[in-house]
Amino acid sequence: MASRKQEINRLTDALRELRMLYDKYFAGQLRLEPRREREGFAEKMRELKKLRDLPTEERFRLQSLQASFVSYSSYWNRLNRQIDEGTFKRDVRRATRMGGTEKVKPVKTQSGYVFSEKSSAQGLPWIDQIHAEFVERRKTCGESTKISKAALDKLLRKEAAAIRKSSRCGEVSFKVQIKDGRTVLKAKPL
């Protein structure tokens, strides 16, 4: 029987291979999700977690491996959910190419202030509302409320242009949120 250290090394290699299989699946190179491999890995992990007399080093490596697997699993589940909803970027791009001029838009899941290429040429119709909401949230957090609409407009346009360029999308949604006691503008490509 192999030593526990070798078993953990094999498990590390198995996770690396599982990641590669999922990368191929999400890239479209594999037709079926590697569920059996994932379940097999989870079973091996459970077996090793049952061992109680592990040295500290091996226990630490096993816990790190477990944390990585949980992180990857949540990421894979999220991408699978996007595929099911029809919002996975690869599928949306492919549908756009295949469909010709008709543009397929992903499902919008959050409301917010939408900045599109059309609204950038015109004035932003919602600049008054987002400015009022931004100032009100800053006031509730005890932050300075000295920001003009023109400065906010300039900031939103700059951020939207950067996001549209990096994610190659037509629209960007902005939302005012409070994070860690500070008011922030959350931008999301649509």
- Asked if residue 100 has pLDDT above 70, the reply is no
DSSP string, 22-64: HHHHHHTS-SS--HHHHHHHHHHHHHHHH-----HHHHHHHHH
Q: How many residues does the chain have?
A: 190
62 C-beta neighbours (distance < 10 Å), count: 20
Question: What are the residue ranges spanned by the domains of the chain?
Answer: 4-91, 108-189
Among residues 9, 4, 15, the alpha carbon closest in space to that of 37 is found at 15
Write the single-letter amino acid at 150: A
Taking the C-alpha atoms of residue 61 and residue 8, their distance in angstroms, rounded to an integer, is 8
Residue 21 near residue 71, CB atoms below 8 Å: no
Tokens of 23: 């990368």
pLDDT at 96: 64
Measured CA to CA in angstroms, residue 142 lies from 147, 178, 181 at distances of 14, 12, 9
Q: What percent of the chain has pLDDT over 90?
A: 21
Question: If pLDDT is split at 50, 70 and 90, which confidence band does 51 have?
Answer: confident
